[in-house]
A and B are shown apart, each in its own frame.
Chain A
Amino acid sequence: METRPRKVLSIDLTKKEYEVKSFEDLNSYIGGVGLGFKLMEMYYDKNPLIFAVGPLNGLFPFASKTAVVINNDGVIEDVYLGGSISLRIRYAGLDALVIHGTAQEQTVLDITNAGVSFKNQSEDPDTLGLPGKRSVIKMDGSKILLGGYFTTPEHFLEKEFTDKNISGIVVTGTELINIKDFDKYEELYKKILNRKNELSVMEGTYPSCSNCPMGCGKSKTGEMGGNVLLHSLVACQYADRIYTDVGVVFSCLNVLGYNYTHEDIEALPKLIEQTLRRIS
């Protein structure tokens, strides 16, 4: 298996410090929930809040979710947030955000690519970052909302933000991704987009996740539970007919330069299960 380092932005709220770490040995976890659980194991003692994207985010349609992994009083939970943040994290050149510690005062994290500014709560998150290239998560009434609309099931984010003294997170991504065979990539992108009638959700006029044309009513509250391959990629559960098709998955990964084998994909559920068992 080819190794592609995973870039993780580690943010220490207590010390107001951050660093980008490049991990060479996390390839087998693919991304999303797999990467998120492994990072939870690595940072377990620091009680992290993790946002992890997968290799398809920002690159293929219907792959617009972000895995959010938290330690809920000893129970490791994975939930999936829609909206635009998966694209912003990917376009920031990152695979995951690991936020740990507790801020001494209510703090807004203003993240642009691999840099973080720690702002106090008087800063309105909607004025930070770059318009059109940012995602904003902040308290809106009694709820934590992304882009004023998207949230996660079970109010896990509300608890994490309260416990860590976070009042907002803004992520801006301004990097460009290079692909060796752009023509082949574009052909595959269009082919997948043309399969939108295979999604098990109705088209609507609701705010849509980025890189998804559906505008469905289901994306508002995110997802919980389901297929580990989808959640590692991190594709929408309603696109399962597309992204559980191993041929499609391999085509996508290969055009992006990931040389996974069938054995790697088959080993993923067990790898995730073992990782989860070690931290549960």
Chain B
Amino acid sequence: MPKILKISFPEKCVGCEMCAIEAQRQLRKIGLEGALIRVFRNTNSKLGNIEYALEIDPRISSLNVDKIQKICPKGVFEVEETD
């Protein structure tokens, strides 16, 4: 059954990029070029209240999304199974 990686709790993100790096490793890449997850600092956030935003490329579903979910230290993601 296909699985979808969902950003359920973006407010918990600490910007460590472990998810993006894990996804790249699964593609046997080291670096962020062509990354299927991108982590941005929200430049509107005020000093002392840093926030991050994430973007996921739909092609992420071809990877082991359970591993990506698990490597996030803050539980930002959920994995949903689809029919």
Contact = CB atoms under 8 A, between A and B. Distances in A.
Given A147-B50, A148-B41, A213-B18, A177 B30 contact: yes
B40 A131 contact: yes
Contacts of A186: 25
A135 B21 CA distance: 16
A176 B16 contact: no
A210 B16 contact: yes
Interface in B51-83: 52, 55, 71-74
A133 B55 CA distance: 13
Interface of B: 12, 14-18, 20-21, 25, 28-33, 35, 38-41, 43, 45, 47, 50, 52, 55, 71-74
Given A148-B50, A203-B73, A208-B14, A58 B30 contact: yes
Contacts of A173: 31-32
A215 B16 contact: yes
A174 B17 contact: no
B18 A132 contact: no
Nearest to B48: A149
A103 interface: no
B29 A176 contact: yes
A148 B47 contact: yes
Classify chain A's interface size: 35 or more
- Judged by DSSP, the binding face of B is loop
A211 B72 CA distance: 11
11 contacts: A87-B32, A133-B35, A147-B15, A149-B50, A205-B74, A207-B14, A208-B16, A209-B16, A211-B16, A211-B21, A214-B16
Nearest to A145: B47
Contact of B38 (A132, A211, A214): A132
Minimum-distance CB pairs A-B, first 8? A132-B38, A213-B73, A208-B16, A215-B14, A176-B31, A177-B30, A208-B14, A210-B17
B51 to A, nearest CB: 9
A69 B63 CA distance: 41
Interface string A136-161: 00001100000111000000000000
B12, B16, B38: residue with the most chain A Cβ atoms closer than 10 Å: B16
A206 B12 CA distance: 10
A126 interface: yes
A148 B45 contact: yes
A148, A189, A203, A215: residue with the most chain B Cβ atoms closer than 10 Å: A148
Given A87-B17, A126-B43, A177 B38 contact: no
A182 interface: yes
B41 A147 contact: yes
B12 A205 contact: yes
Contacts of A84: 15, 17
Interface string A72-103: 00000000000010010001000000000000
Given A208-B15, A210-B17, A189 B25 contact: yes
Contacts of B55: 132
